[in-house]
Amino acid sequence: MSSIPNAIAGQDQQFLLDNARRRKRFSRWFYGLCVAIALVSVLILIVLMISIWSQGQSRLSMDLLTRSHSELEIERSGMWPAIIGSLFVCGTCAVIALPLGVGTAVFLEEFQPTNKVLRMLHGFVQLNISNLAGVPSIVYGLLGLTVFVYMFNVFGVIRVNESAGMELMGYKHFYQVLTLEPGYVVFVPQEDATKRQTTFDAPFQAVDKEGGKIDIAIWTPGTPKPKDPDVRRKTVRAGAIGATVTEKNWYYFRLPFDKSFLSGGLTLALVILPIIIISAQESLRGVPPSLREASMGLGATTWQTVRDVSLPAALPGIMTGSILAMGRAIGEAAPILVVLGAAVAKTSGPKNLMDDAVTMPILIYNWAGRQQDEFKELSAAAIIILLIVLLIMNSTAIYIRHHVQKSQS
């Protein structure tokens, strides 16, 4: 009778051994599959890098970094305005998104409401942030076009060659008038901003190109025409028409923002804001609760605990997530294409707050779509430059993380 239990025990032991072998074999297969997928991903990346390098390495030169786009000298076209434009757009994005994102994460993680209504609001905000992280960037571009570029047309419809909406500061409107001296114009301060043109039939006071005030005389056709160049510069034809021209300072500001780098930066801020909030939340969750409890036990308030304990401990993760989010922002093309358009004919960066800008992804998009082989090579070279910028940003994130962790330890 004792042989039956021994046989059953032997069968159970054999079953356990077979099951263990089967699980180990499945584990090895799954591990091999993961390694194969990782190798395929790396291989694809290497092939792409080799392809881009072989196509664009011949165009890597100082001209690429110091010159602007040119239709006439394709070989010497450069991306300097795009580099400056990307810095302006991403700088605006960082100034808006980083404080707002980190502040939202602190509110969601550190200040837990006790009221039922506030808890429901807290959960609603958290749910929407998680959903917004998966929204395509083109949708943010359409949102930025409606909110920042046109501002729902609250300030009027934007029209070409007209002062859009409400101009607040940093501008002067003049009437530009051609004098009797060919190619020489004078400027008359404009009092009525809605009047785009005016006619001059009587002597008036104007401003020259250097800003000096001069008295302008009127010449009537049929009478002797002045011959002295100085007199001709101070004389205009009777019935001359002056058209509006605007002098803009660097702090020129209006509502709505129109197609300016501010609109592009604010739109990119919407794109990366959920990423920053989620990464900052994860960093704050990684702070040991014992640190907060110790701070509270010593009599610190919630804000003091956040300021002196939670934020410093979570800072490496927050900075890493923020820099990686900025790396995504600098490589975004779709929202900028919707908000700023695809024009690349600029010779410099933005000159005032309402000026438009060209970014590196838009320049690459434009060059890659051209038929000339030279532009395709330039687009590959520009991709290399953009990848270098992204690698520098990612390396900076890693360095900052290790440096802060080392200083804290």
Q: Which residues contact 131 (CB under 8 A, 6 or more apart)?
A: none
Cα–Cα distance between 60 and 226 in angstroms, integer? 56
Looking at residue 409, its pLDDT comes to: 66
pTM of the model: 0.84
Residue 177 DSSP SS3: strand
Give CATH for domain 62-154+258-408: 1.10.3720.10
Bridge partners (DSSP) of residue 199 are 241
Give the DSSP H or E segment for 204: strand 204-207
Neighbour tally for 368: CB within 10 Å: 14
Q: Determine the number of helices (DSSP H) and then strands (DSSP E) in the chain.
A: 13, 7
**pLDDT tens across 30-89, in order?**
999 999 999 998 999 899 889 999 999 988 889 899 999 988 888 889 999 999 999 999
Looking at residue 163, its pLDDT comes to: 56
Q: Amino acid identity, residue 289?
A: P
Task: Write down how long the chain is.
Answer: 409
Residue owning tokens 């584990």: 27
Looking at residue 345, its pLDDT comes to: 86
Q: Are 256 and 164 in contact (CB under 8 A)?
A: yes
Bridge partners (DSSP) of residue 166 are 255
Q: Are 74 and 63 in contact (CB under 8 A)?
A: no
Looking at residue 45, its pLDDT comes to: 87
Tell me how far the alpha carbon of residue 38 is from its chain's centroid: 31
Regions of the chain short of the pLDDT cut 50: 1
Looking at residue 161, its pLDDT comes to: 55
Q: What is the DSSP annotation of 23-75? A: HHHHHHHHHHHHHHHHHHHHHHHHHHHHHHHHHHGGG-SHHHHH----SS-GG
Looking at residue 71, its pLDDT comes to: 86
**pLDDT tens across 211-255, in order?**
889 999 999 988 888 889 899 999 999 999 998 888 889 999 989
Looking at residue 17, its pLDDT comes to: 80
Helix/strand/coil (H/E/C) assignment for every residue in 91-154: HHHHHHHHHHHHHHHHHHHHCCCCCHHHHHHHHHHHHHHHHHCCCCHHHHHHHHHHHHHCHHHC
Residue 168 DSSP SS3: strand
Residue 255 DSSP SS3: strand
